[in-house]
Every structure is written in structure tokens, then in C-alpha cells.
Structure 1
Amino acid sequence: MKYKYYFFDFDYTLANSEKGIVVCFQKTVEKLNIPQKGEEEIKKTIGMPMMDAITHLTGIKNPAEQQLFLKTYKKFADELMTPNTVFFPDTIAALEKIKADGCTTAIISTKTRHRISEKFQLDGYSHLIDLIIGSEDTTAYKPNPEGINMALNLTHADKQQVIYVGDSIYDAGAAQNAGIDFAGVLTGTTTAQELAAFPSVQIIHCLSELL
């Protein structure tokens, strides 16, 4: 295999968590008496930094109000997120093949590390991921390359041997800014045309095409 390090986004790349995200947003705005947004509009914010998603969907810009929204959202997420998150059909097989070939795997996501870890632990696949960097581990979010650079440093990877796989323009931008190869996967809401605006080695329909 050309690459020895496979870095991934999580939401809409390895797993479909849209049901959990949608219901948590809906319950949060209901709790806080904020006008509801439609499911499709909520789905389009998946992969955004959380504060950006909150502002986009609610118009809230005040930091204290954003923190209240986030605190309320997390309470619903603790109960509803992981049970409503499912791996895509070829995710586990792809990760198993990558690990069987002796490669290193990492996840760099705007989702929290503990939430991602919880899903892998619950389903019994923690051994397939070597490193998880989530929103609590960085101060800047994609397309800023901080998370990817952190993974590069922790794994001591040669950039020429790394590929980042993601579904959004935020992922593509982060890979570009980090100076590593990118593969776009069309399992999210971002179109091939949108991803094509960024450098990529592949734009694929599912993870099995990556290998």
C-alpha cells in the first residue's frame, strides 16, 4: 500500500450520526424556545465546528448563550448520540484491512474524542483505531490543520506516507493546509463538485474504493 498512515474524519466518513445530531439539535432548540430548523438544514452543518453550527442554525453569536446551548445539547447527546450512530457498511472491513497491512489509523474530528471512543468501545472495535483527536484536544478547527499536525507529531509520520479521508470541504481544506494527501468520500452532504475544488488523490463513493 502506498500509505502507511490513514487519518480519517468521523461523522459522514466512518459513521452516520445524522439521526443523533438532528434529534439532539431539535430537542435543544425546543428546550431553549428557539425556532426549529428542518432536518436537511441541520444535516448540512455536520462536520462544522460546533459553535459555527450553533450560529448557523440559531443565529446565536453571544458566547454565553452559545455555551448554554452547548451544555443543553450535550445533555441530550449523552443519552441519544451513540445509540443513534451507525458505522457505514464497509467501515469496519476497511479499517480491518488497513490494520492487517500494518498501517496506523487515526481520527481527527470536530466531534468530541470521548464520543467517538464511546462508539468504538460499544461496538467492540477500539483495536482498529490507534489515535483519536477530537474537539476537546484542539483550539482551532478544520480547515485549520492543528488536529492533523497533532496527529502527525504523535505518530511521527512522514507526510508523504499519510492520507486524510473526509467528506467535507473542511476536511479537504485541513489536509491541504497540512500538506498531506486527501481522499474525499461522498457519504455526507458535500457533492463531488464541491470537493473537486480542492486537491485530492481520489473522490470515492465509499471507503472500500479507497483500498
Structure 2
Amino acid sequence: MVNAVVFDFDYTLADSSAGILECIDYALQQMSLPSAPESRMRESIGLTLPKTLTFLTGNEDPGTGAEFTRLFVEHADRIMADHTVLYETAPQVITALRAAGLPLGIVSTKYRYRIEGILRREALLEHFDIIVGGEDVTDHKPHPISLQQALRHLSCPPAHAVYIGDHSVDAEAAGRAGVPFVAVLTGTSGRHHFDTAQCLGILDDLSALPSLLGH
């Protein structure tokens, strides 16, 4: 029985890709690094910013990663909220699950204050009991600590929760936390990316989630 639902944010509840691509491009340009192909940048969405740099350039230097992060965040503070659009099905799914009495949370590498601003704009922030963002933990997905932190706040045992995400990193984090996982295909991942994951379901979008969970 599912007693709490926790969502990833980017490519799960919302499409921030336009803003993310612009911020990646900005940071690379400011560092005089070559631009990356758009398809490659899209595949990096969901990774931490230092891992994004490594994924795009191969550079693993912590100092370079920190500078990339600083520049990305600097530009994101200017443009990200305006470039983020909730998926059409997200509001109705959120309100349906909340009406069914389920506590809701978000666990994301995106900064919490940015998620809060977007949800406040959409009049949905009050539906979430906990948001764990990139600034709230030192170890990020696939490390399970952010999911564990959310579930402690929700007073929900891992086996009685479910985590919804679009990326294999989300599936791995759920597995390491002992949380059942549902994949959505609204990002860049296909069904084959979840072949090794133990999924309750793989959904084309969020619209089928309430029925999958019995609501």
C-alpha cells in the first residue's frame, strides 16, 4: 500500500529544458569552453551541475566544476523560472493524489528555492509537505540520502512510499533507498533505460499515475 508519493522535478513534473540549455551554454561560453550538442545537453538534465560538466566535457576537476556551477546558477537566477513550464497533466495529478489524502514530496537536484518559486507561481506549493533540493544535501542522486530525508519528514517507511522519476539516476536512488519506483517517459529516457530497474510501472506521462496507485 502506498502511503506517500515523492516526485523528481525536471522532466517529471515540469519541463525546464529551455532554461537549462541556455544556462549550460552561458556557463560554457563564460569559461571559454566549446558548446555541447543540444541532444547531449538534454541527456545531462537530472545530473548535478559538476557531473553535467563532466558528462559534457570529460573535465572532472572540482574547481572547474564549482565555477561551472556558479555561472550556471548566476544565469538561472535570472531566467530559469520564466523558462519552466509544468506538464499539462501535473496539476490534476497533484491535486488528485492530495485529495486522496496522500502526503506529497519532491526530491530533485534542482535548487529547492527555485522549485518553490515555480510551484508558488502555479498555486501548487501548498500541496507538498517536503521539498529536498540540491542545496539541502551534500550527496546527490543516485545517493539515497535525499529520498531518505524526505521520507523521514513524511514519517513513511520506504516500502510504503513511491518515487516518480524520468531518469536511471532516479531509479537507482529509489533502489538504494528501498523505495518502489515508477518511471515516466517525459524526459530523454526510453523504456530500455529502465530494463534493469525494478519498476512498479513505466508510464508515458503522469496522467496514469493515480490509477496505477489505486486512486
Q: Name the TM-score class by shorter chain.
A: over 0.9
1:160 aligns with 2:159: yes
Residue aligned with 2:198, SS: coil
- By how many angstroms is 1:124 displaced? 1.9
Q: Does 1:22 align with 2:39?
A: no
1:77-130 residue CA offsets vs partner (Å, 9 max, x unmatched)? 001111101001100000000111111000001111111111111222111211
- Secondary structure of 1:127's counterpart equals helix
Counterpart CA distance in 1 for 2:192 and 2:62 is: 34
Once the 2 structures are TM-superposed, how far is the Cα of residue 195 of structure 1 from its aligned partner?
1.1
Identity %: 31
- 1:73 maps to 72
Q: Distance between the aligned counterparts of 1:143 and 1:69, measured in 2?
A: 21
CA contact (8 A) 2:50 2:68 kept: no
Q: Alpha carbons of 1:61 and 1:158: their partners in 2 closer, same or farther (altered >3 Å)? A: closer
Mean Cα deviation higher: 13-22 or 57-66:
57-66
The reply to whether residue 6 of structure 1 matches residue 9 of structure 2 is no
Residue 110 of structure 1 is matched in structure 2 by: 109
Map of 1:28-177 to 2, 5 A cutoff? Answer: 28-177=27-176
Cα drift, residue 158 of structure 1: 2.5
Deviation at 1:4, TM superposition (A): 2.0
**Is this contact kept in 1: 2:19–2:76, CA < 8 A?**
yes
Q: CA deviation at 1:29?
A: 1.2
Alpha-carbon distance in structure 1 between the residues aligned to 2:29 and 2:203: 37
Opposite residue 109 of structure 1, the aligned amino acid is: S
Residue 134 of structure 2 aligns with an amino acid whose one-letter code is: S
Residue type of the partner of 2:108?
A: S
Corresponding letter in the other structure for 1:5? A
Structure 2 counterpart of 1:207, which letter? L
Give, in whole Å, the separation in 2 of the partners of 1:110 and 1:48: 7
Q: For structure 1, which segment, 61-70 or 90-99, has the greater mean C-alpha deviation from structure 2 after superposition?
A: 61-70
In 1: Cα distance, 2:44 partner to 2:64 partner: 19
**1:180 positional shift:** 1.4
User: Structure 1, residues 33-62: CA drift from partner, whole Å, max 9, x if none?
Assistant: 110011111000001122111111133322
Q: Which amino acid aligns with 2:166?
A: D
In structure 2, what residue type is equivalent to 1:184?
Answer: A
Deviation at 1:196, TM superposition (A): 2.4
Tell whether the 8 Å contact from 2:129 to 2:154 is kept in structure 1 after alignment. no
153-162 vs 170-179, which moves further:
153-162
Q: In the alignment, is the contact (CA less than 8 A) between 2:183 and 2:199 conserved in 1?
A: yes
1:70: how far off? 1.1
The alignment yields a C-alpha RMSD, in angstroms, of 1.1
- The DSSP-based 3-state class of the residue aligned with 1:36 is coil
Structure 1 residue runs of 5 or longer lacking an equivalent are none
Deviates more, 1:170-179 or 1:24-33: 24-33
* Per-residue CA distance 1:131-183 (angstroms, 9 max, x = gap): 10011111211111111111111111033321100001011011111111110
